[in-house]
Amino acid sequence: MSHLPDQPDPWAFLQSHTSARIARGRTGHSLPTRALLDFQLDHARARDAVYSELERDALLAQLQTVQLPVLPLHSRAADRQQYLQRPDLGRKLNEQSLLHLSGLEDLTGVDLSIVIVDGLSATAINRHAGTVVSRLAEEVRALGWSLAPLCLVEQGRVAIGDEIAHALQAETVVVLIGERPGLTSPDSMGAYLTFHPQPGLTDESRNCISNIRPEGFPYEAAVQKLLYLLTEMKTRRLSGVLLKDEFDDNLLTP
């Protein structure tokens, strides 16, 4: 449908229902200048998120409310450039971190390990991880579950959580990680859950909650979903494709 540049786009009402790029108008065969500049800005924010860094001091301050030790760890990827070029190095801990874990005392097995990983958007972790970890820890403690020390990992991928939780003798693990930035979501955080974590597991062994952020899957709803999946894992002794998610999302509290 063609229309003059100064006329409103007839599909503009759809913008109130989605953050997707729809009904941005056009000038000739191109986007209007405003829409093009908005696209370029969002693209720059997504690129910046990939190269963002953990705000460690601010995170540690937020995590004090959880009243657990926080272990700083690092993958085998030495820096961001290597992390992006070698995903395999982001899935394993470096030698210093392995020694750190092996030197811990009184590891007799715990119900849950929470691992916080920068992933492809440290921006997401900086903004959202503190609130979600605090609420999740509060809920699982109310169930009488024991918690391993929190782990804060730099240059990490999802699978690194399995190695960490296995070393901590945890029955289940939740990995909170910055997801690949989108043009409308440079700060999207994901949660990956695994029962009986151990090195070498692949994605079919994990359950995932994606797009955790106020504009996506809100904190409280995400914590409710996490708690449901964790209790199902503990009851059924499995996770991943073997665990069917039967939770009624209509019961979620935003």
Binding residues for adenosylcob(III)alamin: 158, 179, 208
DSSP letters, 70-119, are EEEEEBS--SHHHHHH-GGGGGSB-HHHHHHHHT------EEEEEEEE-T
- Residue found under tokens 């921006």: 123
**Contact assessment for residue 222 and residue 209, using Cβ atoms and an 8 Å cutoff:** yes
Going by C-alpha positions, the residue among 204, 87, 231 that lies closest to residue 155 is: 87
Residue 129 burial (C-beta neighbours within 10 Å; 0-12, 13-18, 19+): buried
- At residue 235, the 3 state secondary structure works out as helix
Q: How far is it, in rounded angstroms, from Cα 118 to Cα 54?
A: 6
Going by C-alpha positions, the residue among 180, 130, 136 that lies closest to residue 152 is: 130
Q: How far is it, in rounded angstroms, from Cα 132 to Cα 246?
A: 22
Please report, in range form, the residues annotated as the binding site. Answer: 158, 179, 208
Helices and strands in the chain: count of H runs, count of E runs: 7, 6
**Contact assessment for residue 140 and residue 151, using Cβ atoms and an 8 Å cutoff:** no
Residue 61 backbone class (left: φ over 0; alpha: ψ -120 to 50; beta: rest): alpha
- Residue found under tokens 């991943």: 240
